[in-house]
Homo-oligomer: A and B are copies of this chain.
């Protein structure tokens, strides 16, 4: 039973490192290639990488960095931790060359034929991949949403399904790891709040409608709600916290909202995937949770925790959602997307035990 070889593009950066950590001992995928720019290509990974968290896996340290190019990277699955500038050219090139690209970059997220996927929420959006053939892509691109949008969308998915979200006010408190490495200077954030994250509010105001939208034929009809977002950076390492007030087409009681949140398991096709947590959402009764330091590793970083579900003076409901920005909101989300591709037969490869 062989594992499928996969590559990480942008492997030396912060998100790339998270991919590498999460792919260690993956039951389906084998990290075969670590790719980066010309500056690092041809060198030992351990020599060109400033490893940020814990210890660098010894096997990876010994790997030779491959140039980020479809001619040199041969794996059928590529996880892209590229920044927007590099992704602009490279991700389409890999798709054209027949690879499936799992992308964290913002470039293609809002393209009509590119699925923006959280498997538990909108696994069916993968159908858009068929439309990518028209681009002349032998492979395809599946994108992740912005990390804070992912956390909010997961908490809202069951509520939107049950009650029809119409208006959403949200204010985030986002971890520094969301800005990559070196990212936020310590002089900017120690004991401080920065009430601004470049280009974050627009993403928060448009990506959720697509994710919570409906597949109609070969297109996504966005969910028709309006979002007002306030994005803030706080001195937290991992875990984006989102305070939300929401209005619905059918006003739910707090009890009904809690029931919808507690019963939600997400799409059937996701259950049992290696990276799928038992509970994509965890609802806490504690008056002062979720908290990033205490709840961020729920479901190995793949579970979003929701708390403080209560009435709102202006809209219908208020609540707080918190999730791991570099796991569920980035690398872990991409890996789950790839597992979904494999499990739904889109790779022409049968995962172990799925015959």
Interface residues of A (CB under 8 A from B): 14, 52-55, 167-169, 171, 173, 176-177, 181-196, 205, 226-230, 232, 234-237, 241, 243, 245, 287-295, 297-298, 307-308, 312-315, 318, 320, 322
Contact = CB atoms under 8 A, between A and B. Distances in A.
Residue among A191, A226, A312 with max Cβ neighbours from chain B (10 Å): A191
Nearest to A320: B195
27 contacts: A54-B295, A55-B295, A169-B169, A171-B171, A171-B230, A173-B193, A176-B186, A182-B187, A183-B186, A184-B185, A185-B185, A185-B186, A186-B186, A186-B190, A186-B235, A190-B235, A190-B236, A191-B191, A191-B236, A193-B292, A195-B291, A195-B307, A227-B313, A228-B314, A228-B315, A230-B245, A234-B234
B53 A232 contact: no
B167 A314 contact: yes
Contact of A185 (B54, B181, B289): B181
Given A181-B185, A191-B293, A307-B195, A313 B55 contact: no
Residue among A176, A187, A229, A293 with the highest chain B CB neighbour number at 10 A: A187
Given A54-B294, A176-B186, A318 B230 contact: yes
A354 to B, nearest CB: 29
Contact of A243 (B171, B183, B235): B171
A234 B194 CA distance: 12
Contact of A192 (B182, B229, B291, B315): B291
A190 B237 contact: yes
Given A186-B190, A187-B14, A294-B54, A234 B173 contact: yes
A196 B288 contact: yes
Contacts of A318: 228, 230
B228 A312 contact: yes
A48 to B, nearest CB: 15
Given A243-B230, A243-B232, A237 B181 contact: no
A313 B234 CA distance: 24
Contacts of A312: 228
Among A169, A186, A230, chain B packs the most CB atoms within 10 A around the CB of A186
Contacts of A236: 190-193, 235
A241 to B, nearest CB: 5
A98 to B, nearest CB: 36
Contacts of A227: 313-314
A307 B193 CA distance: 13
Contact of A287 (B176, B196, B287, B298): B196
Contacts of A193: 173, 234, 236, 241, 291-292
A345 B278 CA distance: 41
Given A181-B185, A192-B294, A237-B293, 15 more contacts: A54-B295, A167-B314, A176-B187, A182-B182, A186-B235, A193-B234, A194-B291, A195-B241, A195-B243, A195-B308, A196-B287, A227-B314, A229-B313, A232-B243, A235-B235
A256 to B, nearest CB: 20
A191 B296 CA distance: 12
